[in-house]
Structure formats: structure tokens, C-alpha cells
């Protein structure tokens, strides 16, 4: 009886997929798949399935840790801003500080909302069932909530703990106000581009190997150089302004959080993930057709007692 309950609870958080329906798994092997793009797609999709099936509280606490870690971006950027003032090329070096939080979060395998706009979406695109969609909403909800709480804790600590001098605090305010100068429309448009860049970064990881950290630095540095808006890093910057008393609580949600969140989702999911899935959809379809045709032919030969022809034998050996 207990075993049945355990199996039932496990099934409730199981992602639906074609492989599970047929009891087969797609091997992430470029030589066995029609294209390199499909191999990358399958690697990321299978990672996404694991994330969707994780325990909700594990997701939440990992997301809180990620939010805290993202405080490193504001911390590094603020310190660079103060100490590099008047130095030629200080803009480039200051924005390099923006990458620190991403390096910590991604290399530590913590849950970042914008990373999940592509990773966790691919399993839903492959099998767009109601169950998979609910699992995606559960993941997004827990991760976004945890990220915001973590960034709030980091911003609160930066403001109220006796850590920084006035110059550094002023730099934090200046960084946050640069974001708040955007209109809601600009927040949304900038967030689309940053969501697309972060999704592109995730797509590059399977091919990056030991250069993964270089990919993180280059792609997130580009986000910083373009003054693009990001829901998690921006939350540290804007919540610091809230705790500092520079802006009201309501301004965190509008004009910042809601347009930025919508833009990140559009850039990462509706643009990048859809296009990435579309490019391998025909590969997947053709592969399934070829497998089904070969299976039907073998069945026909067995039933008819015919010996497979030479070309079929060669195909099997291949």
C-alpha cells in the first residue's frame, strides 16, 4: 500500500514525453541524430525535464540562493564604479562586474528564472500537454518567487548592514536610477533582448565544454554593455532603491518588474525557444518516420518469412 502511494506521488510530478510513452529514450549522440542542433536540443530538453520534476521546495531554496548570489553583480559593479572613476575605459570594466552574479549562479547550478525560460520550456514544446504546462507554471512560480526573495535579502543587507561607505552606496543608487530612467515600453523592449541573449547562452552550454565560464562572461557582459533590463539582477538594483527610500514600493512593480518580466519571457521563450524548437522539428519528424518505416518493414519480413535484403542488412549494421 505504501509503495503504491510513493509511486502515485512520483507520477504526479513526472513530465509527459514521447519517449516515456514508448518506453524509449533519445540518446544525446550527434552521430545517432539527424543534426547537431537536435543533439543540443535534446541535451537541454532532458535537463529541462529533470528541473520540472524536482521537488518544489528544492527549487525554491535553490532560487533564493540564486537571488542572493545575484547581489554580487550589483556589489561588483558598484565597487568598480567608485574605484575606476576617471580611468579610461572604466565603462567597460565597470560593466564586467555585472557578470559576477551570473558566474556564481550558473556554475553553482542554482535556479535562475531567465535560464528556465528556455531549459524548462523545451519539454513542454515537445509534448504540450496540460500536465506539462502546470509543471512549467509550478517551476516558474517557485523560481521567480525565490529569486525575488533572494534579491530582496541581498538589497536589504547592502542598505542596512555596516559594510559600504557612502560613495559605494551612492554608486548603488546611481546604478538603480539608470534602470528607472526607462519607460515601461523601454523596460519591455530591453528585456526581450536580454531574455534572448540569456537563452542563447544556455543553448551554447552543451558545446562550450571547459569554456563555459567564458561564454557566461561574454554573453552577460553584452547584456550589461547594452544597458538591457533583467528581472533578477534588476530586482537587486531596484529593491535597493526601495530600501534606501529613493523610490516607493509600487515603482518596483511598475514601471520595472512587470514589463521586464514579460520581456524576458518573450525573448527567452516565445522567440528563442520557439525558433530553436522549430529548426529541429522536421528532423525529429523525419527520424520518427524513418524508424517507423524500418520497423514496419522488419515486421512484414518476419511475418512473411522473407530474408531481409542486402540493403536492409547494411542499414542495420550501420
Rounded Cα–Cα distance for residues 313 and 301 (Å): 12
**Which CATH architecture does the domain made up of 29-165+172-284 adopt?**
Up-down Bundle (1.20)
CB neighbours (10 Å) of residue 159?
19
DSSP string, 209-227: GGGHHHHHHHHHHHHHHTT
Distances (CA, A) of 31 to 34, 38, 192: 8, 11, 34
Domain ranges of the chain: 29-165+172-284
Look up cell 561564454; give the residue. 215
Residues in the chain: 318
| Residue owning grid cell 538594483 | 237
Q: What's the pTM?
A: 0.80
In the three-class reduction of DSSP (H, G, I as helix; E, B as strand; rest coil), residue 271 is classed as: helix
Question: pLDDT of the chain along its 318 residues, tens only?
Answer: 434 433 444 445 777 766 555 445 555 555 555 566 677 778 888 888 899 999 999 999 999 999 999 999 999 999 999 999 888 989 999 999 999 999 999 999 999 998 887 888 888 888 888 899 999 999 999 999 999 999 999 999 999 999 999 999 999 999 999 999 999 999 999 999 999 999 899 989 988 888 999 999 999 999 999 999 999 999 999 999 999 999 999 999 999 999 999 999 999 887 777 776 666 666 655 555 455 455 555 666 676 654 555 554 454 444
Rounded CA separation 149/113 (Å) = 13
Amino acid at each position: 500500500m505504501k509503495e503504491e502511494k510513493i509511486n502515485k506521488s512520483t507520477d504526479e510530478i513526472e513530465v509527459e514525453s514521447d519517449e516515456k510513452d514508448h518506453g524509449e529514450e533519445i540518446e544525446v549522440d550527434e552521430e545517432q541524430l539527424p543534426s547537431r542542433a537536435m543533439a543540443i536540443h535534446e541535451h537541454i530538453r532532458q535537463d529541462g525535464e529533470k528541473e520540472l520534476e524536482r521537488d518544489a521546495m528544492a527549487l525554491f531554496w535553490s532560487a533564493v540562493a540564486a537571488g542572493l548570489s545575484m547581489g554580487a553583480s550589483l556589489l561588483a559593479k558598484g565597487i568598480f564604479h567608485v574605484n575606476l572613476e576617471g580611468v579610461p575605459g572604466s565603462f567597460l570594466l565597470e560593466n564586467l562586474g555585472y557578470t559576477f552574479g551570473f558566474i556564481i549562479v550558473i556554475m553553482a547550478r542554482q535556479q535562475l528564472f531567465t535560464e528556465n525560460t528556455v531549459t524548462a520550456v523545451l519539454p513542454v514544446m515537445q509534448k504540450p500537454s496540460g500536465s506539462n504546462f502546470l509543471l512549467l507554471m509550478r517551476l516558474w512560480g517557485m523560481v521567480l518567487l525565490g529569486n525575488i526573495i533572494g534579491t530582496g535579502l541581498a538589497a536589504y543587507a547592502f542598505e542596512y548592514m555596516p559594510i559600504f561607505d557612502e560613495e559605494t552606496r551612492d554608486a548603488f543608487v546611481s546604478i538603480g536610477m539608470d534602470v528607472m530612467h526607462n519607460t515601461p515600453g523601454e523596460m519591455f523592449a530591453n528585456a526581450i533582448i536580454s531574455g534572448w541573449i540569456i537563452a542563447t547562452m544556455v543553448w551554447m552550454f552543451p558545446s562550450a565544454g571547459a569554456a563555459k565560464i567564458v561564454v557566461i562572461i561574454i554573453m552577460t557582459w553584452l547584456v550589461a554593455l547594452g544597458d538591457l533590463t533583467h528581472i533578477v539582477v534588476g530586482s537587486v538594483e531596484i529593491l535597493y532603491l526601495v530600501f534606501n527610500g529613493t523610490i516607493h514600493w509600487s515603482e518596483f512593480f511598475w514601471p520595472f518588474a512587470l514589463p521586464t518580466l514579460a520581456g524576458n519571457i518573450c525573448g527567452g521563450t516565445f522567440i528563442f525557444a520557439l525558433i530553436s524548437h522549430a529548426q529541429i522539428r522536421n528532423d525529429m519528424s523525419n527520424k520518427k518516420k524513418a524508424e517507423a518505416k524500418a520497423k514496419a518493414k522488419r515486421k512484414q519480413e518476419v511475418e512473411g518469412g522473407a530474408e531481409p535484403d542486402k540493403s536492409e542488412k547494411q542499414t542495420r549494421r550501420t
